């Protein structure tokens, strides 16, 4: 029974990761980190290697499944896949209909997540402090960049998948936002919603290549430079708050393939200036409530994850 509960819990974590990865500005890696499965995920991905191929050549499926932690990966990926397929339309609708409330929720979620990750630093030093500052700077530069005009070829879709998946497993750096910078966010979402098989396969192959290579690097950094690596990751999250600030003013816009006008480049404004600069209601009280909701949700997830850890 306890094993079933663990799988259900893991599936729910996958749902949360998939939901986060759909949103430009929020990372599935953040969810993996705060729910205590981040390093296990990296280790499992890293084990898709030559040894795993050896098991496959010998047709030792049972040995292969155990070696790569197959039950863990399958359950988690099932949750992520379910979430991406079912939430793609819901989240894009909510971002269009109630952007301030949604971004406020994610703002509160990321603030408390960054604080929880900082708790993982076992020994503070000047180097760790510098690592945090570097992480903040990198995330700020990425999330404040203007989306670029990029090639339309299938080869670039493959590259976009490889780079975006690397960001998706990093807390604080959103793979969806990388796709936005590459000009492929709406393209990929449309491919998923309309089930364009060729585009989905090319993008997925890029994700697999990027994931298998990048997971090894991050896992090595965790093992060799744990505190500094955690410092950089927490800095990524703090720096990404620029992107999820709820009150934004569009500086540049573009017309999407459906003829709708959408923001291409936005700047952050203060809540008290939002009405005068955009002509829209800032919904400040609601924003505080949703931010508090995100804050409390992560705290609850953290408490439940701690309770479910072996030995408790």
Domain boundaries defined on the chain: 2-308
Cα 306–Cα 102–Cα 114 angle in degrees, nearest 5: 40
Angle at 83 between CA 80 and CA 87, to 5 degrees: 150
C-alpha–C-alpha distance, residues 280 and 246, integer Å: 13
Rounded-to-integer distance, Cα 157 and Cα 204, Å = 9
pLDDT of 107-160, one tens digit each?
888 788 788 878 888 889 999 999 999 989 988 887 777 665 567 778 888 988
Per mean pLDDT, which of 32-46, 260-274, 281-295 is the most reliable? 281-295
Using CA atoms, how far apart are residues 246 and 264, in angstroms rounded to an integer?
A: 16
Rounded to 5 degrees, what angle do the CA atoms 17, 190, 90 make? 50
pLDDT at site 239: 84
SS3 readout for 81-135: HHHHHHHHHHHHHHHHHCHHHHHHHHHHHHHHHHHHHHCCCCCCCHHHHHHHHHH
Residue with tokens 């819990």: 9
- Among 119-128, 167-176, 212-221, 282-291, top mean pLDDT goes to 282-291
Q: CA 176 to CA 28: how far, in whole Å?
A: 10
The encoded tokens of residue 277 equal 């600069």
Of the pLDDT bands very low, low, confident and very high (cuts 50, 70, 90), residue 16 is: confident
Q: Give pLDDT, residue 291.
A: 93
| Ramachandran angles phi, psi of 268, nearest 5° | -80, 140
Q: Model pTM?
A: 0.70
């Amino acid at each position: 029974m306890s094993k079933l509960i663990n799988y259900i819990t893991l599936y729910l974590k996958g749902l949360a990761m998939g939901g986060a990865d759909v949103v430009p500005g929020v990372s599935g890696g953040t969810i993996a980190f705060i729910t205590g499965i981040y390093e296990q995920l990296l280790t499992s991905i890293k084990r898709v290697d030559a040894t795993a191929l050896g098991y496959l050549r010998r047709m030792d499926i049972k040995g292969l499944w155990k070696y790569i932690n197959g039950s863990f990966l399958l359950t988690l990926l099932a949750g992520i896949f379910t979430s991406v397929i079912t939430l793609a339309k819901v989240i894009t609708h909510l971002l269009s209909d109630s952007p301030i409330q949604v971004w406020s929720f994610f703002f509160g979620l990321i603030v408390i997540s960054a604080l929880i990750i900082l708790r993982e630093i076992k020994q503070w030093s000047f180097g760790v402090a510098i690592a945090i500052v570097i992480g903040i700077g990198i995330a700020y530069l990425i999330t404040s960049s203007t989306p670029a005009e990029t090639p339309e070829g299938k080869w670039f879709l493959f590259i976009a998948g490889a780079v975006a998946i690397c960001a998706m497993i990093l807390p604080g750096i959103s793979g969806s936002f990388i796709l936005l910078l590459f000009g492929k966010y709406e393209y990929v979402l449309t491919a998923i919603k309309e089930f364009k098989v060729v585009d989905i396969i090319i993008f997925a192959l890029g994700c697999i290549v990027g994931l298998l290579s990048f997971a090894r690097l991050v896992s090595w950094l965790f093992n060799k430079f744990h505190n500094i690596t955690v410092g950089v990751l927490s800095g990524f999250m703090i720096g990404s708050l620029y992107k999820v600030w709820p009150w934004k003013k569009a500086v540049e816009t573009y017309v999407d393939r459906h003829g709708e006008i959408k923001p291409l480049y936005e700047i952050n404004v203060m809540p008290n200036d939002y009405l005068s600069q955009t002509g829209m209601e800032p919904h400040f009280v609601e924003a505080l409530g949703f931010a508090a909701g995100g804050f409390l949700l992560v705290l609850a997830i953290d408490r439940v994850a701690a309770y479910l850890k072996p030995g408790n």
